[in-house]
Chains A and B, each alone.
Chain A
Amino acid sequence: MYQAISPYVPVLILILLAVLFGVVTLLIAWLVRPNAPYSEKLSPYECGVEPLQPGKLRMSIRFFVIVLLFLLFDVEAVFMYPWAVMYKPLGWWGFIEMALFVIILFVGYIYAWLKGALEWE
């Protein structure tokens, strides 16, 4: 049935529909809702007091370390997807290759752990 069109055409239509849904819903809400702003109402929320500092804070370096670790491990995980699909045709040779890969991954993982990159203090 789907030979006539590429399987990606429905995805494209769905993207259009999803974005349209979001935009139209917000537009309708914009048309019907009341609007009576004043400056106290528009100030950032801070438990009832005047905001003490600008809203953009400095953040903990731990978040950056987590992102770095994620990049490393995710790139390594990406290698596993094509391997997983072709796993049965590859046979025992595929297993040994990936076992070596995972062992190397583990060494890096243990190194990151010993260095304290996974601690959250």
Chain B
Amino acid sequence: MLETVILTIAKIIIFFAVLMFFVAYGTYAERKVAGGIQDRIGPLHCGPFGLLQPLADGLKLFFKEDITVAKSDKPTYYIAPILAVVPAILVIAVIPVDENIMITDLNIALLYFLAVSSLSVYAIMLGGWAGNSKYPLLGGLRSASQFISYELVLGLSIVCVAMLVGSFSLRDVVLYQKDMWMVFKQPIAFICYMIAAIAELNRAPFDLPEAESELVGGYHTEYSSMKFAMFFLGEYANMVVSSAIATCLFLGGWYAPFSILPFIPGFIWFLIKTFLIFFFMLWIRWTYPRVRFDQLMGMSWKVLMPVVLLNILVTGFIVTFGR
């Protein structure tokens, strides 16, 4: 009993450390990729190839003065940054990195993921509302409506996967993909999932809540110092975990592609795939211009919703009558 608890705590700390490493070097990767795409060099001066840049950024943010806006709603103002980072950390509980490496194997892992990840909208909403300022409020409102619109698409695209697998446990989902990855069986669900994930993360081309040209900084305009850093930590941690979930759901988790190179351990494959999806998100951000807000909402309600509902019906039809 005690041994198990200690082992669990050790595992949690390792998972947490890996997540934080990914988050720190996610910011570095973002700047390097942005630099590469725009024909610049990117961070260069802190350490070899600028590798110490995330550490320097973190230290700088610790020592920055914190400005609490006059007439802001103090409790909400302080809770929002913590709420921004907590949901992303909670998701790592159910991510299976290898067949037997995971924090806990819940039989409702996918429901847990949906429930926990949708909490992050509260951080943005409350953060935008608490500042007693106009830009954050507008950014928060936009973000909330964007988030809930795409939450539906995300949830329904997961339904397509659960229909084939017959289980909500992420471990079962990956085991199901031993012979053939889900992305070949459910390409439409994969595309819908990726679009919804990028939109929920408020990343370009869907970064309307923090569109600089109209809303200054969006929901975190009034945040500074470490509170501001928490929002960014939350955003990148959310990117990492939704890449990891996409890997589990569609890209065969820890299985090697087409069973090549079987001597490479599964968790290495898992990390490589997660990083590739992460890189894909960066690539999209620095390639496409921002869409308009009515286009954004129309995309979710008028295009993705019917597509994903039809996908459920077609999947059901094939599973029932096609065998």
A binds B: yes
1/0 per residue B6-23: CB within 8 Å of A? 011101110010000000
In the complex, residue of chain A having the shortest beta-carbon distance to the beta carbon of B82: A22
A61 to B216, CA, bound (A): 23
Q: Are A63 and B141 in contact (CB under 8 A)?
A: yes
A-side contacts of B168, CB under 8 Å: 81, 85
Q: How many residues of B contact A (CB 8 A)?
A: 83
In the complex, residue of chain B having the shortest beta-carbon distance to the beta carbon of A112: B301
Q: Are B152 and A80 in contact (CB under 8 A)?
A: no
Q: Are B62 and A80 in contact (CB under 8 A)?
A: no
Let me know if B144 is at the binding interface, CB within 8 A: yes
B-side contacts of A33, CB under 8 Å: 62-66, 225-226
Q: Are B65 and A9 in contact (CB under 8 A)?
A: no
Which applies to chain B's interface (DSSP): helix, strand, loop or mixed? helix
1/0 per residue B55-74: CB within 8 Å of A? 00000011111111111000
Q: Are B226 and A26 in contact (CB under 8 A)?
A: yes
A66 to B13, CA, bound (A): 40
Given contact pairs A42-B69, A84-B162, A26 touches B227 in the complex (Cβ within 8 A):
yes
B-side contacts of A11, CB under 8 Å: 90, 93, 104, 106, 112
Stretch at the interface among B37-45, B242-250, B312-320: B312-320
Given contact pairs A19-B82, A32-B62, A9 touches B90 in the complex (Cβ within 8 A):
no
Let me know if A21 is at the binding interface, CB within 8 A: yes
B-side contacts of A37, CB under 8 Å: 67-68
A-side contacts of B65, CB under 8 Å: 33-36
Let me know if A114 is at the binding interface, CB within 8 A: no
Q: Are B156 and A45 in contact (CB under 8 A)?
A: no
Q: Are B137 and A14 in contact (CB under 8 A)?
A: no
In the complex, residue of chain B having the shortest beta-carbon distance to the beta carbon of A87: B163
Q: Which of B62, B162, B230 contacts A28 (CB 8 A)?
A: B62
Q: Are A7 and B71 in contact (CB under 8 A)?
A: no
1/0 per residue A21-65: CB within 8 Å of B? 111011011101111110101111111000101111101001100
A27 to B107, CA, bound (A): 36
Q: Which of A2, A29, A63, A118 contacts B226 (CB 8 A)?
A: A29
1/0 per residue B152-166: CB within 8 Å of A? 100110011011001
A-side contacts of B312, CB under 8 Å: 80, 98, 102
Given contact pairs A33-B62, A118-B302, A80 touches B156 in the complex (Cβ within 8 A):
yes
A54 to B133, CA, bound (A): 8
Q: Are A55 and B104 in contact (CB under 8 A)?
A: no
Q: Are A39 and B70 in contact (CB under 8 A)?
A: yes
1/0 per residue B81-93: CB within 8 Å of A? 1100110011011
| Distance to closest chain B CB from A109 (angstroms) | 7
Q: Are A85 and B137 in contact (CB under 8 A)?
A: no
Let me know if B151 is at the binding interface, CB within 8 A: yes
| Distance to closest chain B CB from A118 (angstroms) | 5
Would you list 9 pairs from A and B whose C-beta atoms are within 8 A, ordered by A residue?
A: A9-B8, A17-B12, A33-B63, A33-B64, A44-B132, A47-B216, A57-B134, A80-B312, A119-B294
Chain A residues proximal to chain B, CB less than 8 Å? 1-2, 4-5, 7-11, 13-15, 17-19, 21-23, 25-26, 28-30, 32-37, 39, 41-47, 51, 53-57, 59, 62-63, 66-67, 69-70, 73-74, 77, 80-81, 84-89, 91-92, 94-95, 98-99, 102, 105-106, 109, 113, 118-121
